[in-house]
Structure 1
Amino acid sequence: MSGDANGKFYLYTRYERFWHWLQAALIIALAATGFEVHGTFALLGYKKAVAVHSALGVAWLIAFAFFVFWVATTGEWKQYVPTTKKMFEVMRFYGYGIFIGQPHPSPKTPDAKHNPLQRLTYLALAAVLLPFMMATGLLYYAYNDWAALGLGGLSLSVVALAHLIGAFAILAFLVVHVYMTTTGHTPLAHVKAMCTGWEDVATEKPEEWEKRTA
């Protein structure tokens, strides 16, 4: 990953950007068809919504498998290793510092694309929440085969409720994630970076800001 004279680094590869936008599209489409299946609104019709939701779920499962393979083979898994270094500084920044113009205590670098809070969040999403949604979704999808699979003791209503709770958790993440994209040096800076791969780095270090405002 390289930088330029204007203080920008190429942080996001084409695959990362493709995966990011594909996942966003799949989540939104799955949420829309899933809530229609639950009767929240009518757009495609129940049967078609079920068919589309199932197809999207399979597509998401395949795309996720490719993502796991990519992370494992490129060494990008290191970007998701949890760390407590500067954790409280980052929390304080989002709770207070960001509103007074303080620079980010953990600016992005080619070797650390995610701050400590992002690492924990993305790890929980990729290692817990997404597999949970896929597992409950597959159970829901294979309901007619439960007896043959030895799963006759499961309750469809419990599986459906678990899947719905997971869906709300992902939607909550999506709302927070969209908000966080507006916290760059301009409201669309992070969105632009995820489109081009290039992101501006901090022009002022936290310690320089503290000296300037002391």
Structure 2
Amino acid sequence: MATRRVLIFSIFERFWHWTQMALIMTMLITGFAIHGLYVSMPFDTAVTLHTLAALALLALWILSTFWLFTTGNWKHYMPTAEGLGQVLRFYSYGIFQGERHPYRKAYWRKHNPLQAIAYLALKLVLFPAIWVSGLIYLFYFAWGDVPFAAAGLGWVALIHTATAYAILTFVVIHVYMLTIGHSFAAHVAPMLTGFDEVDLTPEEEAYLTADEPSHIR
């Protein structure tokens, strides 16, 4: 295996990542304002910005899902038990002992087993929960006349808020992980340039060198 710098994050992936980050932060900030945690933003403005950011994020999710399946990149997010124990041990113990990360990024698999599980849970559980509950809340005017609608709205709001805090927890952990191991800049650089150090088989290296020379350094 040869370690080379390879373009593994396309322009669309980088656009998706940073746009998603901006929209999630907008939703968190406006969501806190809606709940009255601070009063520096008018309620009506917070609701409008929150709704627009949510709809934009939903559109981005639909577009990115289409991209994942048409390009085959969905394979990078499929969880595997292979190496999961070593990665869990590293993050719970080895990282504090200065050990080297046990996972070596491969051309055919960008994410380590723990990352794959976390990202898959985000995409299949948390995002659908936040959007479904948000849309149900947004369209309360269409079902507000049904029996027990008010009680149901309370549960919808609770699910929406709890999911929002779960996403906030994911964001905090995600940012924290960028501060350990390599420098913060080294962790962020691949999502800016698209290039990262990857272990390549001789066949992969030969293919990239011959057919995709701009994708390998």
TM-score scaled to structure 1, two decimals?
Answer: 0.86
Counterpart for residue 182 of structure 1: 179
Contact kept in structure 2, 1:140 and 1:156, CA below 8 Å: yes
Matched, 1:49 2:43: no
Asked if the contact 2:87–2:101 (Cα under 8 Å) also holds between the matched residues in 1, the reply is yes
What is the number of equivalent residue pairs in this alignment? 198
Does residue 17 of structure 1 match 2:19?
no
Spell out the pairing of 1:1-214 with structure 2 (5 A cutoff): 7-147=4-144, 152=149, 155-201=152-198
Stretch moving more, 64-73 or 105-114: 105-114
Higher relative contact order (CA 8 A, sep 6+): 2
User: CA RMSD for the aligned pairs?
Assistant: 2.0
Shift in CA distance, 34/99, structure 1 to aligned 2, threshold 3 Å: same
Distance in 2 (CA, whole Å) between partners of 1:36 and 1:89 is 41
Change (3 A) 1:150 1:60: farther
> What residue identity is the alignment partner of 1:170?
I
Q: Which structure has more helix as a fraction of its residues?
A: 2
The one-letter amino acid of 1:130's match is F
Amino acid at match of 2:174: H
Q: 1:77 to 1:151 in 2, by over 3 A?
A: farther
Shift in Å at residue 147 of structure 1? 4.3
Q: CA deviation at 1:110?
A: 1.6
CA distance in 2: counterparts of 1:181 and 1:101, whole angstroms: 16
C-alpha contact (below 8 Å) 2:82/2:113 kept by paired residues: yes
The match for 1:208 is none
The offset of 1:27, in angstroms, is 0.7
**For residues 174-203 of structure 1, what are the alpha-carbon distances to aligned partners after superposition, in whole Å with 9 as ceiling and x for unaligned?**
00000112234323211111111111348x
Find the aligned partners of 1:48 and 1:122 in 2 and give their Cα distance: 31
1:78 aligned counterpart, secondary structure: helix
Query: Percent same amino acid among aligned pairs?
Result: 43
Q: Which runs of 5+ in 1 are unaligned?
A: 203-214
Q: Separation in 2 of the partners of 1:177 and 1:6?
A: 25
Per the normalisation by structure 2, the TM-score is: 0.85
CA distance in 2: counterparts of 1:21 and 1:13, whole angstroms? 13
Residue type of the partner of 1:13? S
Judge which range, 38-47 or 57-66, deviates more: 38-47
Match for 1:135: what amino acid? Answer: V
Which residue is 2:203 aligned to? none
